[in-house]
Amino acid sequence: MSRMTRSAVRGILATLMVLLGAVATLMTSPTAASASPIGATELGAVDLGGYCRSQGNVDAVLSGGTAYDWHCRTRDGQNTDLSFTKACQWTYPGELPGSAAFVFDRIDNFYAPASVQCWKASTDEVTAPALDGYCSHHPTGDRAVLTGNTVYDWKCESQSPNGPVYSPVNVLQACQQTKMRNSAVDRFTNFYDPYSWQCRV
């Protein structure tokens, strides 16, 4: 191999090393890191009135003391059901660039109608909370048991000389434990279906 050829090879190798270094820098830069999922984030309140009007109704009305008592009022004075998820997606359309993000509703307290909030997940993955696992690691429980017909009726059960003892389940903590991420959030899709709890990140 001639001197000129060896020199050319060394130049090519040096160029490749520079390019590899640049790629490594990009892979570890904040911009690249920010592209990875960061977890569910709260967007804010849902505009139920605006959503109902966008559907040709007069406004949103509250007819009771729970989150499910929100309705759209039609022009002839009738109340119709509404979808909190669709209302959130209408309220925050800019948060739906594609399948990597998903806007959903979260009811913080079923008995507080104003607690309906909109959130954005970093993925479309949905996981059920491991309630038994949560209770088995909880100081006051051995397993999760269902004591009623709503999502709020899950309890941690432990045994005592006087019989079973029940303590509340913190589903948010159960989701964070299930997903092993503090950014996980809990939500239910149907208050009257105890098995409708979801964990989102």
User: Both 144 and 119 in a single domain?
Assistant: no
Q: In the sheet where 102-107 sits, what is the strand order?
A: 41-45, 116-121, 102-107
- Residues 96 and 161 grouped into a single domain: no
Q: What are the pLDDT digits (tens) for 64-91? A: 999 999 999 999 999 999 999 999 999 9
**How many domains would you assign to the chain?**
3
Count of other CB atoms within 10 angstroms of residue 138: 20
Domain check: are 59 and 74 in the same one?
yes
Banded pLDDT at 137 (limits 50, 70, 90): confident
Q: What is the pLDDT of residue 57?
A: 98
Cα separation, 1 vs 24, in Å, equals 32
My answer on whether 201 and 130 are in the same domain is yes
- Domain shared by 131 and 158, yes or no: yes
Q: Are residues 178 and 201 in the same domain?
A: yes
Are 163 and 179 members of one domain?
A: yes
Segment 86-118, tens digit of pLDDT: 999 999 998 876 654 689 999 999 999 999 999
Q: Give all strands of the β-sheet with 163-168 in edge-to-edge order.
A: 143-146, 154-160, 163-168
43, 116: one domain = yes
Give tens-digit pLDDT for 22-61. Answer: 444 334 333 333 344 578 999 999 999 999 999 999 999 9
Which amino acid belongs to residue 44? G
pLDDT value at residue 98? 65
Does 129 score more than 50 pLDDT? yes
Statement: residue 15 has pLDDT above 60 = no
pLDDT for residue 135? 95
Same domain, 79 and 142: no
Domain around 192: 125-201
Higher pLDDT residue, 14 or 92? Answer: 92
Q: Are 133 and 110 in a shared domain?
A: no
Statement to judge: residues 148 and 185 lie in one domain: yes
What are the pLDDT digits (tens) for 162-187? 999 999 999 999 999 999 999 999 99
Burial of 127 (0-12, 13-18, 19+ CB in 10 A): middle
Residues 134 and 105 in one domain: no
Task: Name the domain boundary from 124, 145, 166.
Answer: 124
